[in-house]
């Protein structure tokens, strides 16, 4: 991923070990509820492997110069597009279970993200997740640099000049307000 150039669409590759990880994680969650223990047995005896294989086949993630596209799901397919300028942070997560399966999670914090969307904003099992995270952050910064008006274009050299302009605007608004009051 480090050899990608601006303008390139980079497609993430997912570690095949995500399949046994998902089977184990979901099966243990079912087993922990006790009520779903019979379902957990069915899950571990074959349904989980079938589901994980198809889930893995549907995983897709790509990054362009302006956005990240992500697709997952079997029965209900979820496709998300995250504009790079909306990404606040990309967190790299590893834990004992993830390390056992040689996996990690990239979790996204986006501008305007609501609490119920947080679980959809993570990628599990991307190969070279550190490099992919760096690529996302680099491209996000490039987008932000393109979007920021340059000080030479705006004609304002520093915060002091901006403050002076805002104060002048406020004075004119105060004058307009006074004129409107006098008219009434």
Residue 157 belongs to domain spanning = 152-183
112 plus 176 within the same structural domain: no
Distance CA 94, CA 147 (A): 33
How many domains does the structure of the chain reveal?
A: 2
pLDDT in tens, 51-74: 999 999 999 999 999 999 999 998
Question: Cβ–Cβ contacts within 10 Å for residue 34, how many?
Answer: 8
The strand pairing partners of 69, in sequence order, are 62, 81
Model confidence, pTM: 0.69
pLDDT in tens, 90-132: 999 999 999 999 999 999 888 765 555 544 578 899 999 999 9
* Cα separations in angstroms, 136 against 38, 109, 122, 149, 179: 42, 12, 13, 22, 52
Distance CA 115, CA 94 (A): 22
Residue 43 inside a domain? The answer is yes
Reported confidence tier of residue 50, pLDDT bands at 50, 70, 90? very high
29 plus 110 within the same structural domain: yes
81 plus 161 within the same structural domain: no
Q: What is the pLDDT of residue 47?
A: 93
131 plus 67 within the same structural domain: yes
């Amino acid at each position: 991923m480090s050899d990608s150039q601006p303008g390139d669409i980079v497609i993430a590759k997912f570690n095949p070990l995500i399949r046994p990880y998902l089977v184990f994680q979901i099966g243990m969650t079912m087993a922990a509820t006790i009520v779903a223990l019979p379902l957990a047995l069915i899950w571990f005896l074959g349904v989980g492997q079938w589901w994980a294989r198809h889930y893995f086949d549907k995983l897709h993630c790509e990054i362009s110069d302006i956005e990240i596209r992500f697709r997952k799901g079997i029965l209900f397919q979820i496709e998300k597009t995250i504009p790079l300028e909306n990404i606040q942070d990309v967190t790299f997560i590893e834990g004992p279970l993830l390390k056992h399966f040689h996996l990690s999670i990239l979790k996204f914090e986006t501008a305007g993200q609501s609490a119920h969307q947080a679980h959809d904003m993570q990628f599990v099992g991307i190969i070279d997740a550190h490099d992919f995270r760096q690529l996302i952050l680099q491209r996000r910064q490039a987008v932000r640099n393109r979007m920021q008006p340059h000080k030479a274009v705006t004609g304002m050299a520093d915060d002091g000049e901006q403050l002076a302009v805002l104060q002048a605007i406020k004075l004119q608004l105060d004058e307009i307000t006074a004129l409107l009051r006098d008219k009434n």
